[in-house]
Chain A
Amino acid sequence: MQAHRRQTLWLAALIHRLSGLLLAIFLPIHFLVLGLAIESEAKLENFLRWTENPLVKFAEMGLVFLLTVHLLGGARLLVLENFPWRVWQKLFATIAVGISALIAFGFLFRVM
Chain B
Amino acid sequence: MSQSQQHLTVSVWRGKSEGAFQDYQVPHLENQTVLDIVTWIQRYLDPTLSYRFACRVGMCGSCAMTVNGTPRWTCRTHVSKVARDGRLKIGPLSNLPVIKDLAADMTAFFEKWQRAEARFTPTKTRLDPIEQIPPSSPARLAASAAIECINCGVCYAACDTVRWNADYLGPAALNRAWTLVNDVRDGGQDVRLRAISANGGCHNCHSHQSCQVLCPQNLNPTASIAGLKRLTAAAFIRGGLK
A residues near B (Cβ < 8 Å) are: 2-5, 7, 9-10, 13, 17, 77, 80-82, 85, 89
Q: How many A-B residue pairs have CB under 8 A?
A: 42
Residues of chain B from 183 to 197 with CB closer than 8 A to chain A in the complex: none
Query: Hey, which chain B residues are within 8 Å of A9, CB to CB?
Result: 207-209, 213
Choice from B208, B213, B223, B230 contacting A13 with Cβ under 8 Å:
B208
Q: Give the CA-CA distance A68 to B207 in the complex, in Å.
A: 19
Q: Give the CA-CA distance A3 to B90 in the complex, in Å.
A: 13
Query: Hey, which chain A residues are within 8 Å of B206, CB to CB?
Result: 13, 17
Instruction: Report the minimum CB–CB distance from B79 to chain A (whole Å).
Output: 16
The answer to whether A13 and B226 touch across the interface, beta carbons within 8 angstroms, is: no
Choice from B68, B71, B208, B220 contacting A85 with Cβ under 8 Å:
B220
Q: Give the CA-CA distance A85 to B68 in the complex, in Å.
A: 31
Q: How many residues of B contact A (CB 8 A)?
A: 19
The answer to whether B160 and A80 touch across the interface, beta carbons within 8 angstroms, is: no
- List 11 A–B pairs whose Cβ atoms lie within 8 Å, in order of A's numbering: A2-B69, A3-B68, A4-B158, A5-B160, A7-B209, A9-B213, A10-B210, A13-B207, A13-B208, A80-B222, A81-B226
The reply to whether the CB of B214 lies closer than 8 angstroms to some CB of chain A is yes
Residues of chain B from 153 to 205 with CB closer than 8 A to chain A in the complex: 158, 160
The answer to whether A5 and B207 touch across the interface, beta carbons within 8 angstroms, is: no
The answer to whether A81 and B229 touch across the interface, beta carbons within 8 angstroms, is: yes
Q: Give the CA-CA distance A27 to B68 in the complex, in Å.
A: 42
The reply to whether the CB of B70 lies closer than 8 angstroms to some CB of chain A is yes
Interface centre among A2, A4, A77 (most CB of B within 10 A): A4
